[in-house]
Amino acid sequence: MREMRIEPIGVIHTPHARPAGTPIQPRMAEGIEGTVEVYEQFAPGLKDLNGFERIWLIYWLDRAPEARLVVRPFMDDTPRGLFACRAPCRPNPIGISCVRLLGVEGAVLRISDVDMLDGTPLLDIKPYAPHFDAFEVGRCGWMDGAQRARMAARGLERPVADGRFEGEGEGGGEGA
């Protein structure tokens, strides 16, 4: 039985210093580059990663506010259950982002489409495989109508965080 204890395996560097203005998902961060610095002792695990076009980064939303079980998500003004949202204020503030892998140089990954804050602690890297991770769905709950309506109302082309999860601390970019 693995003890329930986590430790950073590296750190993610991005241009996003604060939640406000940070893209809420990689899809809305296309072309924004960053790096992943993997700590030396974990570097042997990076072998063979180079062949993948996209990778999952699993990370700790270290600046997320305390958990709230009902939130107003970025894409909607109606209060929603937290588990129906991607907002950072979670009981276990773990973020997942599928970023583009541009290159591997030693223990440093060059990545693109970054939606997390600079200095975010990295917990895991997994290869992205569409036959594992991409599914067609017919329904997407409250998101189905909300995104279009909200972006139109704000005149936005790319949904970005607006600071509502900054609270005492700062929220991460992951949201919806």
Residues 91-120 binding a second copy (CB under 8 A) are 91-94, 96, 98
Three-state DSSP state, 80? strand
Among 15, 81, 103, 106, binds a second copy (CB under 8 A): 81
CB of 110 to a second copy, least distance (A): 15
Q: Phi, psi at residue 98, to the nearest 5°?
A: -95, 100
Residue 127 is a binding residue for a second copy (CB under 8 A): yes
Rounded CA-CA distance 44/78 in Å is: 46
Interacting span for a second copy (CB under 8 A) from 15-23, 141-149, 150-158: 141-149
Tokens of 82: 């937290």
Residue 19 is a binding residue for a second copy (CB under 8 A): no
CB-wise, 14 or 25, nearer to a second copy? 25
Residue type, 24: I
Contacts of 66 (CB under 8 A, 6+ apart): 89, 167
CB of 21 to a second copy, least distance (A): 19
Sign of CA dihedral 83, 118, 28, 103: negative
Residues 22-41 that bind a second copy (CB under 8 A): 25-27
Tokens of 51: 């062949």
Rounded CA-CA distance 22/43 in Å is: 29
Residue 132 is a binding residue for a second copy (CB under 8 A): yes
How many residues sit close enough to a second copy to count as binding (CB under 8 A)?
Answer: 73
Among 14, 22, 34, 60, binds a second copy (CB under 8 A): 60
